[in-house]
Amino acid sequence: MITTFAWTVPVAVVLAASGAAAQSGNEARGERLFNQQCKACHTLDKDGARTMGPNLHGLMGRKAGSTEGYESSDAMKNSGIVWNETTLLEYLKDPKGRVPGTKMVYAGLKQAAQQADMIAFLRKASQ
């Protein structure tokens, strides 16, 4: 019993901290990151242009591959993903790993702080 407790407490603390980090990203840093890495292919404006990638306005709660006016890959359309903070985080970490066959040419966000910042920015900016 003591052995189990000794390793479960640190694991619980790490998991709680990682969840808190996802909630506490910095919107301003996320906006800079979006402008550097995403803006060339994605817009956020309501009724904005669809460029190389789909418009991200209204992203949260939308079914993947369903952006009107943008031809998504069959892989994205059939992924079963509904975008929320969790599914977006999983995708941004490794787009081709999460949706093999996606058209998105992006290696992914590997740093947890950048992931939290991007989610914080997109949570607000895509509304």
CATH number for the domain that contains residue 94: 1.10.760.10
Question: What domain range is 39 assigned to?
Answer: 2-125
Residue 23: band (very low, low, confident or very high) from pLDDT cuts 50, 70, 90: low
Which of 101, 99, 100, 97 has its CA nearest to residue 83? 99
Q: What is the pLDDT of residues 5-19, one digit of tens each?
A: 444 444 333 344 444
List Cα–Cα distances, 49 to 34, 69, 82, 98, in angstroms. 16, 9, 22, 26
Secondary element (H or E) of residue 37: helix 27-37
How does the average pLDDT of the chain come out, rounded?
A: 86
Which of 87, 94, 88, 86 has its CA nearest to residue 111? 94
DSSP 62: P
Q: What is the pLDDT of residues 109-118, one digit of tens each?
A: 999 999 999 9
**63 DSSP β-pair partners:** 82
Domain count, the chain: 1
Interval 35-43 mean pLDDT:
95
With a cut of 60, say whether residue 37 has pLDDT above it: yes
